[in-house]
Chains A and B, each alone.
Chain A
Amino acid sequence: NAGVTQTPKFQVLKTGQSMTLQCAQDMNHEYMSWYRQDPGMGLRLIHYSVGAGITDQGEVPNGYNVSRSTTEDFPLRLLSAAPSQTSVYFCASSYGGRYYGYTFGSGTRLTVV
C-alpha cells in the first residue's frame, strides 16, 4: 500500500492563480479530509468527506473547493490563490466511524506570492 499520496510536495503560486492539490489513497477508506497548518500552529480542517459524492465544510472552507467522485481521490481546489493561503496542506483518510484513526499524507507546502 502506498497509503495517502499527496502531489505536488511543493508549489509556488502567484496571487490570483488557481490550482488543484491532489490526494489519493489506496486503502479503500471511506473518510477523507483536508487540513492546513500554518507555521507554529495546529491543524485546521478545511473540508471533509464521509464517502464518494459526499463532502462537507470544515473550520476554514473559504477559498477552497472539493469534490469526491471516487473513493480513492479527494482533490482540493484553490479558486484564486491569496497570500493568506500560504500553508502546509495535509490530506488524511480513515475507514470511517469512531473506531479508526486517520492516516495522513506527507503534505503539500504551498507558497502564494
Chain B
Amino acid sequence: DAKTTQPTSMDCAEGRAANLPCNHSTISGNEYVYWYRQIHSQGPQYIIHGLKNNETNEMASLIITEDRKSSTLILPHATLRDTAVYYCIAPGYLGETSGSRLTFGEGTQLTVNP
C-alpha cells in the first residue's frame, strides 16, 4: 500500500466547494486511489476512485496530479450532511485480487458549517 497523508481536520461553509487533499507520493504506476467517507457511527461509504485521469460522479470529483503523487477530492456544493471523516486509500496493486484489501488511515474530519 502507498502511504497516504491527509490533514486531520477541515472546515467548509455550506454551499461552498470542499477540497480535501491527499498526499500519496509513494504510489506506484498501477495503483488506484479510492475515497470513502464515514458519517458518524455509520458504515463507510464509497465515493469515487481513479488512476490517472480526473474522475467525476454524482457525489464528487477527483483530481489527480500528473505525477500522481497527490489528489484532491472535491465536493462541489457542500451540505451539512457532508460532515464526515473522509478517507483517501491507495491499497496497492495485487494483480487479480487488487482492491481486495483496504487500509484506512485516520482520514480528514470535514465539518460543514451553516
Q: How far is the CA of A92 from the CA of B8 in the complex (A)?
A: 25
B36, B43, B97, B103 — most chain A CB neighbours (10 Å)? B43
How many whole Å from B64's CB to the nearest CB in chain A?
15
Binding-face segment, B16-24, B44-52, B69-77: B44-52
Residue of A at shortest CB range from B34? A101
Residue of B at shortest CB range from A3? B43
Residue of B at shortest CB range from A88? B41
Q: Convert A58-93 into 0s and 1s, putting 1 for each residue whose CB lies closer than 8 angstroms to a CB of B.
A: 110000000000000000000000000000101010
> Is A103 among interface residues, defined by CB-CB distance under 8 A?
yes
Beyond A98-B32, A101-B34, A101-B36, is A45–B101 a contact (Cβ under 8 Å)? yes
The 8 Å CB contact of B104, one of A4, A31, A44, is A44
A45–B43 contact, CB under 8 A? no
A50–B100 contact, CB under 8 A? yes
> Is B11 among interface residues, defined by CB-CB distance under 8 A?
no
Tally of chain B residues near chain A (CB < 8 A): 26
What residues of chain A lie closer than 8 Å to B106, measured between beta carbons? 41-42
Q: How far is the CA of A33 from the CA of B93 in the complex (A)?
A: 18
A104–B45 contact, CB under 8 A? yes
Beyond A90-B43, A90-B44, is A31–B100 a contact (Cβ under 8 Å)? yes
**Which residues on B are within 8 Å of A, measured CB to CB?**
32, 34, 36, 41-49, 87, 93, 96-107
A to B CB contacts below 8 Å, 29 in the list: A4-B43, A31-B100, A33-B101, A35-B104, A42-B87, A42-B104, A42-B105, A43-B44, A43-B102, A48-B100, A48-B101, A50-B100, A56-B100, A58-B101, A59-B103, A92-B44, A94-B99, A96-B100, A97-B98, A98-B32, A100-B99, A101-B34, A101-B46, A101-B49, A102-B36, A102-B46, A104-B43, A106-B43, A107-B42
| 6 additional A-B residue pairs with CB within 8 Å, beyond A43-B102, A104-B44 | A42-B106, A50-B97, A98-B32, A98-B98, A102-B36, A103-B46
